[in-house]
Amino acid sequence: MKSILLIEDDPTLSRNIKAALTEEQMQIETVFDGLLADKLLRKNSYDCIILDINLPGKSGFDICRTFRTFNRDTPVLMLTAFDELDDKVQGFDSGADDYLTKPFYMRELLIRVNSLIRRNHQTTTRAEPSTLMSGDLVINLVAKKVVRQGKEIEVTPREFAILSMLLQHKGELVSKADMIREIWGSAFDTNTNTIEVYINFLRNKIDKPFGKSNIKTKIGFGYYFDEHGS
């Protein structure tokens, strides 16, 4: 049985989400306060976190950012009250894997949660080499670490997945649709600008601080890792 932590301070919405997930044979733990949620995340293990942004005690952004300092793998689905790009960018930057804008259909929530859990399971169980390398960039697939020029770079789980995919297909074009299907699953909207947001994050972390330009975009086709980019 999959274990879900639901962090939502609206009691009606919390009850409705819990009922919907319970019907799917999931075990749901609910919490309404950000500070208490922070303590539970340090104490217990879950298969997925559903996290509202606006919470008493501590915001969802701060909770997620803190959570990622000691857990990079458990997927986080962030609930946003407004369909604002700034909120989504801040959510992804704090370590969220996906977002859902209120109001939403419970069926869509279930699809997103199942997709995140499935993708995380496939990522952690797939047999693959322990490291990927390109020049001074090293990705440790076991420890989930990215190092460039001897310096460890903090990345979110989805950033790690995208960068790993680009290096696994080094020099080859990876389409936006293939990237979404591989990392998020078929339920994710291929028209979303989520990939562009993540690519921008990766360039700001992996390339620009080191005077590199390895992560390339071919407009209308996709993305690729240029080993000789400088």
Q: Could you give the angle at which helices 194-202 and 85-93 cross, rounded to 10 degrees? A: 50
Mean pLDDT, all residues of the chain: 88
* pLDDT score of 128: 54
Residue for token pair 């946003």: 80
Q: What is the DSSP string of 28-47?
A: EEEE--HHHHHHHHHH---S
Residue 127 predicted with pLDDT over 50: no
Mean pLDDT, rounded, for 155-174: 90
- What pLDDT is recorded for position 11? 95
Q: pTM here?
A: 0.64
Cα 126 vs. chain centroid, distance in angstroms?
A: 18
CA distance 115 to 109: 10
- 3-state SS assignment for residue 60: helix
**pLDDT tier, 123 (very low <50, low <70, confident <90, very high otherwise):** low
For range 10-18, the mean pLDDT: 96
> Per-residue pLDDT for 124 more than 60?
no
CA distances from 141 to 157, 174, 203, 219 (A): 11, 19, 20, 29
The separation between CA 80 and the C-alpha centre of its own chain, rounded to angstroms, equals 15
pLDDT bin (cut points 50, 70, 90) of residue 187 is low
- For the ranges 28-32, 126-130, 149-153, 185-189, the maximum mean pLDDT occurs at 28-32
Stretch 22-34: mean pLDDT, rounded? 95
Distance CA 15, CA 152 (A): 41
Question: Are the beta carbons of 207 and 163 closer than 8 angstroms?
Answer: no
pLDDT of res. 179? 87
Q: What is the pLDDT of residue 192?
A: 67
Question: The tokens 């859990």 sit on which residue?
Answer: 117
113 and 77 Cβ atoms separated by less than 8 Å = yes
pLDDT given at position 165: 93
Express each pLDDT in 52-100 by its tens digit. Answer: 999 999 999 999 999 998 888 899 999 988 766 777 788 888 889 888 9
Mean pLDDT of the 122-126 span? 56
Q: In whole angstroms, what is the distance from residue 118 CA to residue 134 CA?
A: 29
Please give the domain boundaries of the chain with CATH numbers for all domains. Answer: 3-125 (3.40.50.2300), 131-225 (1.10.10.10)
Q: What are the CB-based long-range contacts (under 8 Å, 24+) for 84-87? A: 85/193, 87/53
Angle of CA points 182, 186, 190, to nearest 5°: 90
